[in-house]
């Protein structure tokens, strides 16, 4: 069974009573704003569609047209401003907690990762050049972005990612047991019960939540994880050691990794596809194909924004790009993932896309699955 995403550990920032009260307020605000967001569709159907039809003799035709019209609606203006403010409040609250607790967290990380015997490892590249995708914006408004780094002991980017992610997940209604990796591991067990990977690669691992889950679920496997940010990787390494799990973390660009061909039995990514450009997405799939052993499996998981959506739904998804620093959101939504996997070299009959239930929360996750030929 996968390890819970939000399991407490020694490197996780510790909240005071005031911190917890502030977090609970933000969770409540975010949950109420998700319900209030339904009112935007009411405004669209009652006001926008009739207005455009009266002016143009037809309904709205593009997301841009809907955006222009909705931007004038007081209800949408208020909802949008409050939703962005709630996101910034979340990051302010999380960073305040981390800043106060950072001396203890840094000491714990140093002790855990400099012990006589560590279970995993950390490999940072002093000559690493950050890919443009992680520099174009501070993704989902995380302060300083994924490449934030203040030196050789800095953990802030990783600490922000985990604590911010925990608070965000609660705000959208997910329970503490929810785990993207857990959903994928459950899918693998049901769909490929005979599959027992011995080498696993987690791409775009961030704070290592999924990496640790795979190591815990497949204790015989050697687990490697890749990300671009040095502070995120330092935190991920310390977090894994604190949880008693061995993962080997590497600073690499997922579009051009240094591993040998046919190195892994299982390659995974979680919520990575919507945070990279189309070019990087194509390279990600090509690298997955190159690195898989014969009979190996790639599973790329993400938010379920693909497929047939109404014009209004596409407009609401576009809010993430406009106001939550998700520049590649729509690129992923419009991508034909199975076709891109086939272009990367996977056999079309070995490619599937589906949705899987969340472990502890409403809704589903999107996954694209490709299996390497046994003849490769």
pLDDT band at 66 (very low <50, low <70, confident <90, very high): very high
pLDDT of residue 120: 97
Question: What pLDDT was estimated at residue 306?
Answer: 79
Residue 322 predicted with pLDDT over 50: yes
Q: How confident is the model at residue 60 (pLDDT cuts 50, 70, 90)?
A: very high
Model confidence at 210: pLDDT above 70: yes
Strand partners, 319: none
Output the pLDDT for position 172. 77
End-to-end CA distance of the chain: 31
Whole-angstrom Cα distance, residue 246 to residue 237? Answer: 9
Instruction: Please tell me the predicted confidence (pLDDT) of residue 278.
Output: 97
pLDDT of 311 above 50: yes
User: What confidence tier does 370 reach under pLDDT thresholds 50, 70, 90?
Assistant: very high
User: Which stretches does DSSP call E strand in the chain?
Assistant: 121-123, 199-203, 222-227, 248-251, 264-270, 292-302, 351-357, 364-371
- 308/17: higher pLDDT: 17
pLDDT of 1 > 50? The answer is no
pTM metric for this prediction: 0.95
Confidence label for 178 from pLDDT (cuts 50, 70 and 90): low
Instruction: Please tell me the distance from the alpha carbon of residue 287 to that of residue 308, in angstroms, as a whole number.
Output: 28
- Average pLDDT, integer, range 333-347: 96
pLDDT of 225 above 90: yes
Written as one string, the DSSP assignment of 211-273 is HHHHHHH-TTSEEEEEES-HHHHHHHHHHHHHTT---EEEE-BTTB--SPTT-EEEEEEES-G
- For range 221-237, the mean pLDDT: 98
pLDDT at 263 over 60: yes
Q: Is 118 helix (H, G, I), strand (E, B) or coil?
A: coil
With residue 311 as reference, give the H or E element that holds it. helix 311-323
* Residue range 336-356: mean pLDDT, rounded: 97
Residue 132 is predicted with a pLDDT of: 95
Judge contact between 6 and 176, C-beta under 8 A. Answer: yes
pLDDT, position 360: 84
Percent with pLDDT over 70 in the chain: 97
pLDDT reported for residue 305 = 86
pLDDT band at 2; cut points 50, 70, 90: low
Average of per-residue pLDDT values in the chain = 94
pLDDT of residue 3: 57
99-153 confidence digits (pLDDT tens): 999 999 999 999 999 867 899 999 999 999 999 999 999 999 999 999 999 999 9
The predicted model gives 166-172 an average pLDDT of 87
| Residues present in the chain in total | 376
Q: Is the pLDDT of residue 281 over 60?
A: yes
Average pLDDT of span 164-190: 87
What integer pLDDT is reported at residue 361 of this predicted model?
83
Report the range of poorest mean pLDDT among 7-11, 14-18, 105-109, 137-141.
Answer: 7-11
**pLDDT tens-digit readout, 22-35:** 999 999 999 999 99
């Amino acid at each position: 069974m996968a390890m819970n995403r939000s399991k407490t550990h020694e490197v996780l920032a510790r909240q005071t009573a005031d911190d917890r009260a502030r977090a609970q307020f933000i969770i409540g605000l975010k949950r109420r704003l998700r319900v209030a967001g339904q009112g935007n569709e009411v405004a669209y159907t009652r006001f926008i569609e009739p207005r455009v039809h009266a002016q143009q003799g037809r309904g709205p035709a593009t997301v841009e047209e809907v955006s222009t019209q909705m931007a004038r609606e007081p209800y949408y203006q208020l909802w949008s401003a409050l939703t962005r403010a709630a996101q910034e409040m979340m990051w302010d609250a999380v960073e305040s907690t981390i800043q106060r607790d950072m001396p203890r967290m840094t000491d714990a990380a140093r002790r855990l990762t400099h012990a006589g015997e560590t279970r995993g490892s950390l490999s940072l590249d002093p000559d690493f050049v950050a890919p443009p995708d992680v520099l174009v914006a501070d993704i989902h408004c995380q302060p300083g972005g994924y490449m934030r780094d203040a030196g050789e002991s800095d953990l802030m980017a990783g600490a922000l990612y985990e604590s911010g992610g925990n608070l965000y997940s609660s705000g959208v209604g997910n329970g503490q047991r929810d785990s993207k990796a857990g959903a994928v591991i459950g899918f693998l067990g049901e769909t490929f019960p005979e599959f027992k990977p011995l080498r696993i690669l987690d791409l775009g691992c961030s704070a290592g939540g999924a990496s640790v889950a795979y190591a815990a679920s497949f204790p015989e496997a050697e687990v490697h994880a890749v990300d671009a940010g040095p502070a995120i990787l330092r935190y991920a390494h310390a977090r894994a050691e604190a949880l008693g799990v061995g993962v080997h973390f590497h600073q690499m660009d997922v579009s051009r990794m240094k591993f040998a061909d046919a190195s892994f039995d299982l390659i995974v990514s979680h919520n990575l596809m919507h945070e990279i450009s189309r070019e990087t997405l194509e390279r990600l799939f090509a690298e997955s194909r190159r690195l898989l052993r014969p009979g190996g499996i790639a599973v790329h998981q993400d938010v379920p924004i693909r497929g047939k959506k109404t014009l209004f739904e596409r407009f609401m998804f576009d809010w993430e790009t406009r106001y939550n620093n998700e520049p590649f959101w729509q690129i992923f939504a419009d991508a034909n993932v199975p076709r891109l996997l086939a272009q990367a070299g996977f056999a079309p009959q070995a490619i599937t896309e589906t949705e899987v239930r969340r472990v502890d929360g409403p809704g589903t996750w999107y996954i694209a699955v490709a299996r390497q030929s046994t003849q490769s």
